[in-house]
Amino acid sequence: NAGVTQTPKFQVLKTGQSMTLQCAQDMNHEYMSWYRQDPGMGLRLIHYSVGAGITDQGEVPNGYNVSRSTTEDFPLRLLSAAPSQTSVYFCASSQRMQGEDQYFGPGTRLLVL
């Protein structure tokens, strides 16, 4: 099992550019989520999905889109990057949403200039 994988590891964008952060898991987990980590603020939930075809917003969804066409993949899209989106992004998965310890990917460090 590869667990949760994320690509790329590091990305530099210019303001206004778009990009997709990839996340995949091979554990057949139903629940997947995206967090961003900023200094002094812990991790904040951006979007989550309880299964293929179902997504919902978390605490800080503005500026991000997601889709879940398969159980394995949960990409995060930035349509028009802003400097405020400079952060480290973590994808996570678990068998269920509630009460399950989540498996985190290695993170993607994004710098928006």
Partner 1 sequence: AQKVTQAQTEISVVEKEDVTLDCVYETRDTTYYLFWYKQPPSGELVFLIRRNSFDEQNEISGRYSWNFQKSTSSFNFTITASQVVDSAVYFCALSELYNNNDMRFGAGTRLTVKP
Which residues contact partner 1 (rule: CB under 8 A)?
33, 35, 40-45, 48, 56, 58-59, 88, 90, 92, 97-104, 106-107
Q: How far is the CB of 70 from partner 1 (least distance, A)?
A: 21
Nearer to partner 1 by Cβ, of 18 and 38: the residue is 38
Give the residues across from 25 on adjacent strands: 4
Residue with smaller CB distance to partner 1, 6 or 71: 6
Q: How far is CA 107 from CA 4, 16, 62, in A?
A: 10, 22, 20
- Amino acid code (one letter) for 56: D
Q: What distance in Å separates the CA atoms of residue 9 and residue 65, rounded to the nearest whole number? A: 19
Strands 10-13 and 108-112 come out as parallel
CB of 80 to partner 1, least distance (A): 25
Which CB, 14 or 42, lies closer to partner 1? 42
CB of 11 to partner 1, least distance (A): 15
In the complex, least distance from residue 44 CB atom to partner 1, rounded to whole angstroms: 7
Euclidean distance between CA atoms 110 and 113, whole angstroms = 10
